[in-house]
Amino acid sequence: MEYDAVVVGAGPAGLMAARKIAKKGFSVLVLEKERDLGTRACAEAVSASAFQTAEIPPSPSLISNTIDGAYVFPPDESKMVKISGEYRGYILNKPLFLYALASEAASAGCDIQMRSEVKSVNVEGGEARSLVYEKKGELITVGFKYLVGADGVGSIVARTCGFDMGGYEIIPTIQYVMVNCKIPERNMIRVYLGNEVAPLGYVWVFAKNEYMANVGIGVRGKPAKPYLDRFIERHPEFFGNAKVIKEGGGGVPVGGQIRELVKGNVILCGDAAGQVIPITGGGIRSSMAAGSIAGEAVAHAIEEGDPTLLREYPLRYSEHWGSRISKSLKVLRVIETLPDDDLNTLGELLSGDDIIDLANGLDVKRVAAKLMLHPMVAVRIASRLI
Ligand SMILES: Cc1cc2nc3c(=O)[nH]c(=O)nc-3n(C[C@H](O)[C@H](O)[C@H](O)COP(=O)(O)OP(=O)(O)OC[C@H]3O[C@@H](n4cnc5c(N)ncnc54)[C@H](O)[C@@H]3O)c2cc1C
């Protein structure tokens, strides 16, 4: 059997891509290796606009908690910065959110096969023509005109189709889902920084409801678990009698977008392509946006019988997301070199708006100009942000 397109991975990127291709009337097969959607650990935080990107309404059944703002704690927690105002978001119920995306894809006509792990891609003369996947112990070959690799970190599509993964950098994370937590102001997410707390990373505490929270850490160069356990021990006011009911983790690609997103008739999107905002590690919305644009480019290429039209995807994605990712990466490269004293100084000087702009790669120049007014900070930090 040959499909117009095969999509590997039923995460946010793959389900969006598949929906967009099927909506144009083309045949699409989605292959997912897991037996369920949303099994991978995730802190589940998205901005409110994620639902616009997903093109589904923010139904309460898909949301565990609403976010009204954030507290960002530098190493000296007394210098905490409050982010509030127009920044609204949600802690998703990610498995149900993915079911909703899968439902949209199915209603557009996609075939979705679970427990189907892609084992290899057959590339002939620079074109991928078929792949082999394993389902219930059986090896099945399927042909296609176009292939979408939305298979996350460690993408088999990227590896077997020869994508240049130079600069692809993964930060390891660990996350606990905890119950019987006592998190005050549960609509405010909490982020903790500092070389003692999370070397070259951060700890997050995102309440899911009045008793449950996603509590996680990303660190570089050190084992993450001891840092997370120590953080929990040092915050008995939140976790005194709390219990871990689920432990997970995984790599987050924080090194920025890979150089080539398209190779012949193959396209990569989402985590597979490094499309994560490097400072926050947030990739749900940016991956859905990538899947959506990638899917439209594939549909256009099928329609016109012209694989070169896949190039529309990197062009359109870089207009907004590509530049946000690269600006956020630049800020990360500066922040990760700072000692705790400098992080405390930033805590004193930066407002909530400034932190949002820096973290998301938005108006970095404005924040750098503000920091320039402080001579010591200007030399060490601000000049490097511009
Ligand atoms: C601990 C943690 C916390 C996070 N918290 C947040 C957060 O709060 N907010 C946010 O925006 N982002 C967060 N992220 C990042 C976010 O989860 C990802 O950026 C996003 O899910 C990427 O979507 P994707 O579709 O590209 O990849 P994925 O969600 O990884 O989906 C890829 C899919 O491909 C499947 N697959 C892989 N290989 C194969 C194969 N060979 N055959 C078939 N299927 C395969 C996988 O099983 C998976 O279902 C977090 C990540 C981690 C690890």
Q: How many domains are contained in the chain?
A: 3
Residue 217 lies in domain: 69-85+169-253
The pLDDT, as a whole number, for residue 88 is 87
Q: What is the average per-residue pLDDT within 256-270?
A: 97
Say if residue 159 is in the same domain as residue 292. yes
Tell whether 64 is covered by a domain.
Answer: no
Confidence check: pLDDT of 140 > 70: yes
Q: What is the average per-residue pLDDT within 315-322?
A: 94
- Choose which residue among 19, 20, 39, 42 to substitute to test ligand 1 binding: the one with the highest number of ligand atoms within 8 A of its C-beta: 42
- Choose which residue among 202, 228, 287 to substitute to test ligand 1 binding: the one with the highest number of ligand atoms within 8 A of its C-beta: 287
The pLDDT, as a whole number, for residue 347 is 83
Q: Which residues line ligand 1 (CB under 6 A)?
A: 8-14, 31-34, 40-46, 117-118, 150-152, 156, 173, 175, 216, 249-250, 252, 270-272, 276, 281-285, 287
Say if residue 265 is in the same domain as residue 352. no
Tell whether 173 is covered by a domain.
Answer: yes
The proportion of the chain whose per-residue pLDDT surpasses 90, expressed as a percent, equals: 77
Confidence check: pLDDT of 317 > 70: yes
Domain boundary residue, one of 300, 322, 344: 322
Q: CA 62, 68, 73: angle at the middle one, nearest 5?
A: 115
Tell whether 90 is covered by a domain.
Answer: no
Say if residue 355 is in the same domain as residue 310. no
Say if residue 371 is in the same domain as residue 269. no
User: What is the residue-averaged pLDDT of the chain?
Assistant: 94
* Strand partners for 113: 31
Per-residue model confidence as pLDDT tens digits over 333-363: 888 888 888 888 888 888 888 888 888 778 8
- Retrieve residue 133's tokens: 């996947």
- Choose which residue among 19, 113, 117, 151 to substitute to test ligand 1 binding: the one with the highest number of ligand atoms within 8 A of its C-beta: 151
Higher pLDDT, 209 or 367: 209
pLDDT band at 26 (very low <50, low <70, confident <90, very high): very high
The pLDDT, as a whole number, for residue 364 is 84
The proportion of the chain whose per-residue pLDDT surpasses 70, expressed as a percent, equals: 98
Tell whether 367 is covered by a domain.
Answer: yes
Count the neighbouring beta carbons within 10 Å of the beta carbon of residue 241. Answer: 9
Measured from the Cα of 12, ligand 1's closest atom is 25
Measured from the Cα of 14, ligand 1's closest atom is 25
Confidence check: pLDDT of 307 > 80: yes
Higher pLDDT, 88 or 304: 304
Say if residue 21 is in the same domain as residue 105. yes
Domain boundary residue, one of 253, 270, 286: 253
Range name among 62-66, 185-189, 338-342, 379-383 with the lowest pLDDT average: 379-383
Say if residue 137 is in the same domain as residue 179. no
The H helix count followed by the E strand count for the chain is: 14, 18
Selection from 323, 260, 321, 267 nearest residue 289 by Cα: 321
pTM above 0.85, yes or no: yes
Q: What letter would DSSP give residue 272? A: G
Per-residue model confidence as pLDDT tens digits over 194-224: 999 999 899 999 999 999 999 999 998 899 9
User: How many Å lie between the centroid of ligand 1 and the Cα of residue 369?
Assistant: 36
Assign 129 to helix, strand or coil: strand
For helices 284-304 and 12-23, what crossing angle results, to 10°?
30
User: How many Å lie between the centroid of ligand 1 and the Cα of residue 325?
Assistant: 17
Tell whether 241 is covered by a domain.
Answer: yes
What residue's CA is closest to ligand 1, atom 50?
42
Say if residue 205 is in the same domain as residue 354. no
Tell whether 148 is covered by a domain.
Answer: yes
Say if residue 11 is in the same domain as residue 99. yes
- Choose which residue among 252, 280, 321 to substitute to test ligand 1 binding: the one with the highest number of ligand atoms within 8 A of its C-beta: 252
Per-residue model confidence as pLDDT tens digits over 121-130: 999 988 999 9
Tell whether 266 is covered by a domain.
Answer: yes
DSSP codes joined into one string, 206-234 = EESSSS-EEEEEE-SSS-HHHHHHHHHHT
User: How many Å lie between the centroid of ligand 1 and the Cα of residue 337?
Assistant: 27
User: How many Å lie between the centroid of ligand 1 and the Cα of residue 80?
Assistant: 30
Say if residue 338 is in the same domain as residue 201. no
Say if residue 210 is in the same domain as residue 76. yes
User: How many Å lie between the centroid of ligand 1 and the Cα of residue 155?
Assistant: 11
The pLDDT, as a whole number, for residue 379 is 67
The pLDDT, as a whole number, for residue 40 is 94
Tell whether 51 is covered by a domain.
Answer: no
Q: What is the average per-residue pLDDT within 227-250?
A: 97
User: How many Å lie between the centroid of ligand 1 and the Cα of residue 271?
Assistant: 6
Helices (H), the chain: 12-23, 50-54, 94-108, 156-160, 224-233, 236-239, 284-304, 312-317, 323-335, 340-349, 352-359, 364-372, 375-377, 383-385
Domain boundary residue, one of 322, 351, 372: 322
User: How many Å lie between the centroid of ligand 1 and the Cα of residue 307?
Assistant: 27
What residue's CA is closest to ligand 1, atom 10?
282
The pLDDT, as a whole number, for residue 372 is 81
Range name among 80-94, 134-148, 158-172, 231-245 with the lowest pLDDT average: 80-94
Say if residue 317 is in the same domain as residue 376. no
Say if residue 228 is in the same domain as residue 173. yes
Q: Tell me the CATH number at 195.
A: 3.30.9.10
Alpha-carbon distance 233 to 221, whole Å?
22
